[in-house]
Each structure stands twice: as C-alpha cells, then as structure tokens.
Amino acid sequence: MVKYSFTTVSINKNGLISYSSIKSVKQKNVYLNNRLLNLFGLGIKLEMIYVTAGQFIMGASIKEERLSHYLKNENMILFPVLRDLVIQETPQHKVSLKPFYMSKFCITQEQYEFIMGNNPSRSKNEKNPVEQVSWFDATEFCKRLSSKIGVTFSLPSESQWEYACRANTITPFYCGETIAPELAGAVHIVDIYETKMKFGQFNPNAFGLHDMHGSVWEWCADEWHNDYVEAPKNGDVWLKGDNKYSPVRGGPLYSIDTDAFFESHKNYIKKITKNKVLHTKPIISFELGNAFLLLSNTRDPNKKNYCFNSFARSACRGKNERKNCSYDVGFRIVTNHDLDLYL
C-alpha cells in the first residue's frame, strides 16, 4: 500500500486552465507492485486505485453539449441516429456504489501480452493501452488474471465507470464545463486511418485515475440498453439487455484537419446527406467504426482544425458489438475485493 500524490486540473468555460496540488488524499491509492510485479516479471506492474463508496447522478443533463445542440438545431431532425445518441444518456438517476478498486490506466499492451500471450494492437507500444480487443478478449483477460492472482477482476459496470470518471463532479467533464486537447488524449484525424494519440501523459481526475477522458474507448461489462429506464441503482452490472452489444465509455477528443478530411470524404458526405443543403459545415466523426454526421455551429468555421469533445464527456455512451476489435477500443479493470487482505 502506498500513497499516490498527484495534481488535478480544471478549466473554466473560457478555456482558462488551472492546477491544484494534492499532497494528501482521502482515497486509498494502491500500487500492486509486489505479487503482481513478480507475476508479470521484469518490472511490469498493475496499479489499482481505491475508489471510495458514494452516490452520484448518472446520465447527461439537458445543459450538456449534445443535448442542447440537438434540441436547438432543427437540422438534427435529418439524422435520427443523433436523436438516439441523446436518448441513450437519459434519464438521469441516482446511483449508490460500494467501494472498489479500478486500474489507474487502461490495460497496457505489455500487461495484456503477458497474460494473453499476444498483442493485437494496431499501433504497437508496450506502454500504450491495448486496443483492437473485443469484449470477449477483455473478459478473458480478466478471467486469466483472476486465476493467477486469486482475486476476482472484471470489467467495470457502466455505473462504476461513470462514477469513477466523474470523481464527485457534476460538470460534463471532471475538469469542468469543457475540455481541450492539452488535457486529454486527442485523436488527430487527417484521414480516418491516419491518427495520433498520447496516453498517460495528462493529469488524473480527483480519484487519481488517468485518461478517463480521451485515450481509447473502454469496454464495460453490461449488456446494451437504449436508455437508463429501469437501470440498476446500486452499481451492479446491468444484464437482461441486448447481449450482442456492450457499452463503451471515455471516448477520445477528435481533432480534425477539416480541409484534408472533407476532401477525402466528400463523396461519402454527399451520399449520407443525400444532396441536402445544410446551413452549417458538417463534421464527420467515426465512432466505433460507424459514421455519424454532426453539425458544427459552435466553432469558427474559418479554423482549419476542429476539436470535437462530445464523445469524451463523462456521460457519453457508445454502443459496440462485443465481437468487434476496433483500433480505438481498449479496457480497464476493477475488483470489489479489499486488496489489502489479499496482496
């Protein structure tokens, strides 16, 4: 057991960034450097952060960007898929959770390869999150790790994930009302296949968890439900849904070179807009391998690069088929055991 001291960051609605040093935290910050270090060998470690029990309001408020943008923009009626994206983050509801441990970072490629014997990631870097893993791959990793350690690990429930991400905040992002590429992992898109992303280099949230905004999408254990009607209020994994799909959370910020991007996708844009004339310049963003047309009226249209941060919000949900192995999807793990008693 060791303490983890860190600095959090906040940003106001005008984009002013400020930092706060935390010398002593109430949360337990647990590094599993002994038994797991020997297990992984050669300095590979898995750091688990203690997340305290508590209550929070899960889901998006009407003030958040995607909701307000949808309600105010009449052109959204052209795209019913965006209506579904709004609905799936509602209704807001109170959830009470018991304490648990969550991995400080997404599972890395070296951790995954040691347990599973392979590294499926498209962009190879042992310290980066493993990606191109299916939900079944992630759950199998948890099973094998649990067997080796003698402690049950699993994917987080969706409510555990959002509670951990928010870290006792009620704003769209744990750092405030907005976020910027300086504060979280952004995918820079020139063409959809040309991306760059940083990991583990940004300040954590108040629980000491890194890359909850930005980085890769992260698998949750739940089965998919189209909204939060009748969602569990105790933090449990939500079953009895569509077990072909599971939620993914914590999507990247998409930084788009609009000129190059629109040029390379103009035929696709023409196809999905069916030659309709839109009043705003469309932004194409790719979520989980599917294209969604988003309307941008909140940024200077003369700016070459556009950073779309809606997918990185604490409340944002993605729907992904469990068998999919996407280049921007990874996972982190949790355990409900008191690790002080086991390790």
SS3 269: helix
> DSSP alpha helices (H): ranges in 73-227?
80-87, 109-116, 135-149, 158-166
Q: Which among 102-116, 220-234, 260-274, 304-318 has the top mean pLDDT?
A: 220-234
Picking from 68-77, 84-93, 150-159, 266-275, which range would have the lowest pLDDT averaged per residue? 266-275
Strand-pair category, 46-51 with 29-32: antiparallel
Picking from 99-103, 207-211, 310-314, 335-339, which range would have the lowest pLDDT averaged per residue? 310-314
64 membership: H or E segment, kind and range: none
Mean pLDDT of the chain: 76
Q: Is the pLDDT of residue 282 over 80?
A: no
pTM above 0.75, yes or no: yes
> Residue 56 — φ and ψ, nearest 5°?
-155, 165
Tokens 């991995």 belong to residue: 103
DSSP label at residue 242: B
Percent share of the chain, pLDDT over 70:
64
pLDDT score recorded for residue 44: 73
Q: How is 66-99 classified by DSSP, letter by letter? A: HHHHHHH-GGGGG-HHHHHHHHTT-S-EEEEE--
Picking from 22-31, 93-102, 242-251, which range would have the lowest pLDDT averaged per residue? 22-31
pLDDT band at 231; cut points 50, 70, 90: very high
Task: Output Rg (C-alpha) for the chain, integer angstroms.
Answer: 20
SS (H, E, C) 224-291: ECCCCCCCCCCCCCCCCCECCEEEEECCCEEEEEHHHHHHHCHHHHHHHHCCCCCCCCEEEEEECCEE
Q: Is the pLDDT of residue 203 over 60?
A: yes
Q: pLDDT tens digits, residue range 298-319?
A: 343 344 444 567 778 899 899 9
pLDDT score recorded for residue 230: 96
Can you state the angle between helices 65-72 and 80-87, rounded to 10 degrees?
Answer: 140
Q: Is the pLDDT of residue 15 over 50?
A: yes
Cis before 91? omega within 30? yes
What does the alpha-carbon distance between residue 179 and residue 176 come to, in Å, rounded to a whole number? 7
pLDDT score recorded for residue 5: 82
Percent share of the chain, pLDDT over 90:
38
204 membership: H or E segment, kind and range: none
What is the pLDDT averaged over residues 196-209?
79
pLDDT score recorded for residue 279: 35
Asked whether the beta carbons of 338 and 53 are under 8 A apart, the reply is: no
What does the alpha-carbon distance between residue 12 and residue 174 come to, in Å, rounded to a whole number? 12
